[in-house]
Amino acid sequence: MRRACLAVLLSLVAPAPYAAERVLDFHGELRVEHDGALWVTEILTVQSDGGRVRGSVERDLALPLEHLSVTRNGRPVPFERQSIAGGVRIRLRDPSAVLQPGQHEYRIAYRTAHQVGFFEQHDELAWTVKGSAATLAFERLSAEVRLPEAVPAGELKVRALTGDEGRDYQAFVSAGSAAVRVTRALAPREAFTITVAFPKGVVTQPHPGARLAAWADRHRGPAVLLALLLVLFGDMALLGWRLRRGSGPRFALA
């Protein structure tokens, strides 16, 4: 089963965990396009105690990104992108800046392609809103998925998972959209994932070549290794065929 996967690392750099320092609210807005790409806006409100939490936010995303932007309290934040195994890490450039006491709102916006899974009877978007690598507690979490068409609410199916096997959530479905809200605070390293299933035809299924290219772009290391192995085996097969046909180099003695 193909799932759009978002591996999350959210860490506010501090010498030790403090109860006052936490994520008060995390909301993910996901807008699905007809071609299966997503426009994602993640809005998180952080509580700082003004001295221990530094102004450094890291976000590990296991998928290719476009049109990335980050703001804090409505102002653009300088950041850098680092390539990591299976994705990209977003890091603020000034980890020495101490946040003032109080609440701070971050917005991370980006576009990512090829995120819809296609099945025989339906299609679906599976998304990890909060991954198990997050190091702070989250008091409130929610997410909303908007489809490119006003699909009747009765044709949408929503599932979610909190922690390892939890079902601590509420789902709200309307024409063309689905919203999910977690009904309890999540401790550090507790994940929150959602799945929204919808009728076939809402999103255009890409041809196999495009899906293969998307997989290769997302897994460049394994893709390069696989390509090298295919070339090697192809050369070996061609050499064996030539030897069997007797078309290899010949030597004659005069």
Q: Which residue has the higher pLDDT, 251 or 206?
A: 206
Contacts (Cβ under 8 Å, ≥6 apart) of 35: 113, 203, 204, 206
The three-state (H, E, C) secondary structure of 199-251, written as one string: CCCCCCCCCHHHHHHHHHHHCHHHHHHHHHHHHHHHHHHHHHHHHHHCCCCCC
Torsion angle in degrees (nearest 10) through CA of 98, 25, 176, 191? 100
Name the β-bridge partners of 246.
none
CA dihedral 116, 118, 119, 122 (to 10 degrees): 60
Helices in the chain by DSSP H: which ranges?
Answer: 208-218, 220-245
Residue 105, Cα to own-chain centre: how many angstroms? 21
- Convert the pLDDT of each residue in 195-230 to its tens digit: 999 999 999 998 766 555 555 565 555 555 655 666
3-state secondary structure of 185: coil
82 band by pLDDT with thresholds 50, 70 and 90 = confident
If one counts every other C-beta atom within 10 angstroms of the C-beta of residue 122, the result is 15
Domain 11-198: CATH superfamily is tricorn interacting facor f3 domain (2.60.40.1730)
pLDDT of residue 254 exceeding 70: no
What pTM does this model have?
0.75
In the DSSP assignment, the letter for residue 16 is S
| pLDDT at residue number 136 | 82
Q: Which two tokens stand for residue 182?
A: 């977690």
CB–CB of 70/90 below 8 Å? yes
Q: How far apart, in Å, are the Cα atoms of 112 and each of 30, 33, 81, 128, 148?
A: 10, 10, 15, 14, 15
Q: How many residues does the chain have?
A: 254
Give CA 20 to chain center in angstroms. 28
| Residue 167 to residue 184: CA distance in whole angstroms | 10
Judged against a pLDDT cut of 60, whether residue 75 lies above it is answered with: yes
Asked if residues 14 and 21 have their Cβ atoms less than 8 Å apart, the reply is: yes
Please determine, for residue 94, whether its predicted confidence score (pLDDT) is greater than 60: no
Work out the angle between the directed axes of helices 220-245 and 208-218 (0-180°, nearest 10).
120
Angle at 38 between CA 32 and CA 44, to 5 degrees: 110
> What residues pair up with 179 in beta bridges, in sequence order?
144, 172
Residue 117 clears pLDDT 80, i.e. is over it: yes
Beta bridge partners of 175: none
Q: Over the stretch 6-32, which tens digit does the pLDDT of each residue have?
A: 444 454 444 444 456 789 999 999 999
